[in-house]
Amino acid sequence: MEKSNPITAIQKGLIISGFLIVLSTSIYFLGLQTEKWAQWVSYIILMGGVLWACISYGKENDNNVSFGNVFAHGFKVSAIITCMMIISSTLFIFLFPEIKENAIEIARAEMEKNPQITEEQIEMALSMTQKWFMAFMIGGILLAYLIFGCIASLIGGAVTKKNPSNPFEQTNM
């Protein structure tokens, strides 16, 4: 039986990114972006997808892999997902500028709940957030997705079945 071509890290990253983009778009249009559980669903899908990528990588290579090989593959997938999420989020902000205004209003409401913060401090923080919104968004996505992706890659590297060959073993001829 002929072996099928393995799915590359780029392809796996694009597949998982597609799911995440559809999910985040659905969450936005359903008005659930302020719900805590909705924010965590993306990270759960990210971690599940990277675990799937690691385990399938081991199977595609007949489990002749090491922890480092599997971790590196999972981290590559995470990097692709992170790049795609940064691109899609940036496009989403340009297509729907009200997202930025809604985020600022949510931040204002959260700060107003704290009695130790003055109105002047709130205005100063919000003006800085307004000015640096894209940088904060990109930095947040970069940090969060790479950290969760790294954790999932570590778990994937640990749980993937491995039977690597020993390079010091002699074969009898």
Per-residue pLDDT of the chain (173 residues; tens, 9 = 90+): 456 678 899 999 999 999 999 999 998 888 887 788 888 899 999 999 999 999 999 999 888 888 999 999 999 999 999 999 999 999 999 998 888 888 888 888 888 888 888 888 888 888 888 889 899 999 999 999 999 999 999 999 999 988 866 666 655 55
The domain tally of the chain equals: 1
pLDDT for res 105:
86
* Structural domain includes residue 28: yes
With a CB cutoff of 8 Å and minimum separation 6, the contacts of 12 are: 49, 52, 53, 56, 77, 80
Q: Which of 9, 19, 70 lies closest to 46, judged by CA?
A: 19
Does residue 21 contact residue 88 with C-beta atoms inside 8 Å?
Answer: yes
Does residue 2 lie in a domain region? no
Reduce the DSSP state of residue 30 to 3 states and report it.
Answer: coil
pTM of the model: 0.84
- Asked if residue 115 is part of any domain, the answer here is no
Buried b (16+ CB within 10 A) or exposed e, 20-55: bbeebeebeeeeeeeeeebeeebbebbbebbbbbbb
Q: Within 13 Å of residue 45, how many CA atoms lie on the same side as its CB?
A: 20
Is 154 domain-assigned?
yes
In a domain, residue 108? The reply is: no
Domain membership of residue 58 as a residue range: 9-96+138-159
Q: Phi/psi at 97 (nearest 5 deg)?
A: -60, -20
